[in-house]
Amino acid sequence: MKQQKTANKVGIEVLPVMEKFYSIQGEGFHQGKAAYFIRTAGCDVGCSWCDVKESWEVEKEQFIKIDEIIEELRSLPCSFSVITGGEPLIYNMDVLTDRIHDLGVKTHLETSGTYPLSGKWDWICFSPKRFKKPLDIYYEFASELKVVISRPNDLRWAQKHAEQVNENCVLFLQPEWSVSDQILPDIIDFVKENPEWNISLQLHKYLDVR
């Protein structure tokens, strides 16, 4: 019974949060900006190269009150918040994003697009993965398409997704970190031939920040 009561509150009063911290956004369109990060726990996409695999599972002690998140954010000189995971949209994000907006802080979502869209977002980074098919709605609402590239064939796969997104969506290719040196020349050549694309380089790893 106690577990059921907790489940009913997820997304309304509490969320499973692996970590929350204030740092620099390292990827995509908003790279280089100061941002408050909320990394939810739980993901079933199963990317083989995921560098935060510890976010896949949910532990009982990770459930925290949304009030706690908001109070920490309130104390920071921050106007930009990134909600990532794991896969954040496993949970309903309506209350969290409303509370963040009440502070005058913008909301940025990082999602694989595999769960229904909830929450109010100033920016949606849609990052589809081969491991689980995304929902069609994300092609319409994505502000940014970010595709992780680990092998040359991924470039053609990325282009198929680009053909489906809305006309205002910004396109990014990001080398998978462990093979970045090998795959980056292919990405550079591709972007030179297809200049509608941009390159995202995980700036936070070069800066050595979280």
CATH number of the domain enclosing 76: 3.20.20.70
CA Rg, the chain, in Å? Answer: 17
Between CA 38 and CA 188 the distance in angstroms is 31
Amino acid at 150: S
Query: Is the model's pLDDT at 96 over the cut of 60?
Result: yes
**How many other β-carbons are positioned within 10 Å of the β-carbon of residue 133?**
11
Query: Is the model's pLDDT at 99 over the cut of 80?
Result: yes
Quote the pLDDT of residue 12.
80
Query: Is the model's pLDDT at 6 over the cut of 50?
Result: no
Quote the pLDDT of residue 45.
85
Look at strands 14-24 and 34-40 and give their pairing: antiparallel
CA atoms within 13 A on the CB side of 144: 24
Look at strands 123-126 and 106-111 and give their pairing: parallel
DSSP 135: P
Look up tokens 């997304």; give the residue: 11
Quote the pLDDT of residue 8.
56
Q: pLDDT band for 62, please (50, 70, 90 cuts).
A: very high
Report yes or no on 38 lying in a domain.
yes
Mean pLDDT of 128-154: 95
Report yes or no on 101 lying in a domain.
yes
Terminal-residue alpha carbon distance, the chain: 38
Between CA 188 and CA 165 the distance in angstroms is 22
Report yes or no on 178 lying in a domain.
yes
Mean pLDDT of 124-137: 94
Model's pTM, two decimal places? Answer: 0.91
Structural domain containing residue 90: 15-207
Amino acid at 126: F
Between CA 190 and CA 161 the distance in angstroms is 15
Report the chain's mean pLDDT, rounded to a whole number: 92
Report yes or no on 6 lying in a domain.
no
Report yes or no on 2 lying in a domain.
no
Report yes or no on 1 lying in a domain.
no
Give the range with max mean pLDDT: 7-11, 32-36, 45-49: 32-36
Query: Is the model's pLDDT at 4 over the cut of 60?
Result: no
Quote the pLDDT of residue 104.
98
pLDDT in tens, 154-188: 999 999 999 999 999 999 999 999 899 999 999 99
In degrees rounded to 5, what are phi and psi of residue 36?
A: -95, 120
C-alpha separations of 15 from 45, 46, 100, 161 in Å: 19, 21, 14, 31
The token pair at 1 is 């019974």
Per-residue burial over 30-44, b if 16 or more Cβ lie within 10 Å, else e, is: bbeeebbbbbbbbbe
Report yes or no on 76 lying in a domain.
yes
Report yes or no on 7 lying in a domain.
no
Q: In the chain, how many domains are there? A: 1
